[in-house]
Structure 1
Amino acid sequence: MPQSAHTVALTAALALLGAPLSGCAAADAPPIGPPAVNPLYVTPAEALTPDQVRYLQQQLRDWPQLERYRAENAALPVAQAGQPRVVFFGDSITEGWGPTGSGTFFPGKGYVNRGISGQTTAQMLLRFRQDVIALQPAVVVILAGTNDIAGNTGPATQAMIEDNLHAMRELAQAHGIGVVLASVLPVSEYPWQPGVHPAPKVRALNAALQRYARDQGVVYLDYYRAL
């Protein structure tokens, strides 16, 4: 994704914080087809390659990937006065910005990258306390849901995705953290999961998230419309 699209959208959202962005809601079309599932979860054990077995064993050892940012969190300095800390919380689209403090990730800002490629909202919810709340940010930017639609960690209905995102918003609110809730980006297919047809599912989820953000008074960051 072009960095300019990220920059424009996030600058607007972080400037507004308490006020939802205006714009037309995505078409509220019903999802098509059943929830997707990672093919590895339904492949007979004897048909798995050694690399696939190692991947699944790693998932069992640390399913939410709490180990990923544990050391960085411990080494993170206290937030400085006058420079509010913002945590970007998501999957590969967030991780792709670059590491915290790097030249590609908002240099000179008090922003923290806590994206992990391939993660679903269920995994993110489990690490929300460690990778968001414990860092005491002023704001968290949450971008997630596409990997749920892809079935990365098993079948997930739209209601399940919404429940996880709602829980993150509620946890943030309970700890005085402002929320920017981002739309899922447009996608027509997943190379690692052919046959899912995610586009109508993305539109339906975004329409629900936009309504939820409006009702809860949080910022809705409309990547979908921008892209």
Structure 2
Amino acid sequence: MCTIKSIYFTLILSIFMVQNAKTQDWANLKKYQNENAILKSLKPEPKRIVLMGDSITEFWSTLNPDFFIGKPFVNRGISGQTSPQMLLRFRTDVIALKPNIVVILAGTNDIAENTGPITVEMIAKTIFSMAELAKVNHIKVILCSVLPAFDFPWKKGLQPAEKIVTLNKMIEKYAHSNQIVYLDYYSVMVNEHKGLISRYSDDGVHPNKTGYEVMNPLLEKAILLTLK
């Protein structure tokens, strides 16, 4: 017979097990394990393009699937991830797939402190580390601006707008100094309050279908510039 005490114990044990599993696979290396194995078993795709990012990348192929049809894109976005988590899985989810280009879109969840407090400088350096890993492995790089956000609905009051501006300036400067294409989503998606234009998003952070339709041609243009 179940008692309140036993139910409480079971609940606490379940929470502990979930947290422990996350600790053991902090970067969620298993998420794309099967898909990666299949890709590596196939004939190499010389035009492959990996999209590395968080939920903004992950949801792209769900909310705007038509954009991906017939293109050599491999979506490796994971919702909620910060740049250190992406760096940890970069070899598995990018380098091992031997793409021609990697598109790196990171920083939103760092500023939201999803994995703890972090400075803008630390975020930038982690993003640059991914770019350097790619270049050493003969993978062309596209560095994306962080999308505008006035506030985060899951962690309010962090005042991210100015931090995003600062981070984007650092990414742009690094890209130009290292002959990397800088993909500026920010400038065409920002409103007068340095947030995301309302018609492009339902929560002020993540693009909706309309938002992705703005991003699509910008990505295509950046890819063409990278291939020149």
Shorter-chain TM-score range: 0.7 to 0.9
Residue 107 (structure 1) aligns with: 69
Deviations 1:80-109 (A, max 9, x none): 35xx0000000000001126xx94451111
Give 1:53 deviation, angstroms: 4.6
Give 1:54 deviation, angstroms: 5.3
Pair 1:214 & 2:176 matched:
yes
| 8 Å CA contact 2:145, 2:171 repeated in 1 | yes
TM-score, normalised to structure 1, is 0.73
Deviations 1:152-204 (A, max 9, x none): 01111111111111110110000100000000000011111111110000000
Pair 1:57 & 2:29 matched:
no
Q: Distance in 2 between matches of 1:156 and 1:59?
A: 20
Paired amino acid for 1:95:
E
Aligned-pair identity (%) = 50
Deviations 1:110-149 (A, max 9, x none): 1100000000000000000000000000000000001000
After TM superposition, the structure 1 = structure 2 runs for residues 1-227 of structure 1, keeping only pairs within 5 Å, are 50=12, 53=16, 55-76=18-39, 77-80=42-45, 84-98=47-61, 103-227=65-189
Aligned length: 175
Root-mean-square deviation over aligned CA pairs: 1.8
Greater relative CO, 1 or 2 (CA 8 Å, sep 6+): 1
Larger helix percent: 2
Unaligned runs of 5+ in 1: 1-48
Structure 2 residue matching 1:168: 3-state secondary structure: helix
Residue 43 (structure 1) aligns with: none
Unaligned runs of 5+ in 2: 1-10, 190-228
Distance of aligned partners of 1:223 and 1:56 in 2 relative to their CA distance in 1, 3 Å threshold: same
Larger radius of gyration: 2
Give 1:52 deviation, angstroms: 5.9
Q: Distance in 2 between matches of 1:197 and 1:180?
A: 27
